[in-house]
């Protein structure tokens, strides 16, 4: 099983999907990507998760994010399942589902965890930036559905960190105060980067208004 670390280049691949063959890096272009795996088609938890992703499509687009799902079933199965998802979840599945029947992508990304199953993928999320670098992973067991609002929040935090050189505190939401990293110590640099000022709860805990708000 492959092991990917944060900061690694996300492996490229060519695989069939619900919209036809995809070469991953080419499809991703200059967008952020949320790649998330599912145990199988026509399963209840997965159906709700893909429905939620469909409902968040506009939110993803506003953040320059493309979503792409994966399971080990074939493309024909995916296309049939999409009809069920759209009918039961009252949404449109406007993103592809990779058909990883030979488990090639699952192997590249380490999506099969033998203590869960030797044959199907666990619920893993990979957030990948426009430079194709892996920035965040989340892994859930087969029986537990993911929180897609948290995935969206994580994208917001990553993008804010990249744009303004900040960190985010626990439970941070867009618009909340942000953390000045410990790597920034020079007061002149702090004033230049964070002109709204800051408050120091401790010398190592400095909070400032979101620079972009």
Active site residues: 46
The CA-based dihedral angle spanning residues 37, 162, 4, 139, taken in that order and rounded to the nearest 10 degrees = -40
In order of 44, 150, 205, the CA distances from 158 in angstroms are 31, 12, 20
CB 54 within 8 A of CB 40: no
Beta bridge partners of 17: 98
Q: Choose among 36, 39, 13, 2: nearest CA to 118.
A: 39
Q: DSSP secondary structure string, 139-157?
A: EE-TT----HHHHHHHHHH
**Burial grade of 65 (CB within 10 A; 0-12, 13-18, 19 or more):** buried
**Lookup: tokens for 49:** 């998760």
3-class SS of residue 96: coil
Beta bridge partners of 54: none
Cα of 101 vs its chain's centroid, Å: 22
Cα of 18 vs its chain's centroid, Å: 20
């Amino acid at each position: 099983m492959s092991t990917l670390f944060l900061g690694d280049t996300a492996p490229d691949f060519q695989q069939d999907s619900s919209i036809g063959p995809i070469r991953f890096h080419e499809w991703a272009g200059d967008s952020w990507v949320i790649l998330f795996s599912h145990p199988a088609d026509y399963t209840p938890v997965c159906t709700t998760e893909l429905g939620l992703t469909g409902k968040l499509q506009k939110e993803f687009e506003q953040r320059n994010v493309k979503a792409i799902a994966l399971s080990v079933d074939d493309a024909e199965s995916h296309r049939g399942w999409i009809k069920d998802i759209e009918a039961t979840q009252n949404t449109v599945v406007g993103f592809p589902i990779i058909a990883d029947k030979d488990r090639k992508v699952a192997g590249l990304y380490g999506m099969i965890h033998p203590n869960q199953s030797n044959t199907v993928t666990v619920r893993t999320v990979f957030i990948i930036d426009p430079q194709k670098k892996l920035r965040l992973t989340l892994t859930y067991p087969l029986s537990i559905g993911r929180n897609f609002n948290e995935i969206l929040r994580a994208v917001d935090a990553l993008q804010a960190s990249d744009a303004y050189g900040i960190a985010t505190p626990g439970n941070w939401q867009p618009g909340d105060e942000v953390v000045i990293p410990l790597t920034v110590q020079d007061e002149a640099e702090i004033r230049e980067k964070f002109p709204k000022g800051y408050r120091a709860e401790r010398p190592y805990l400095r909070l400032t208004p979101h620079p972009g708000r």
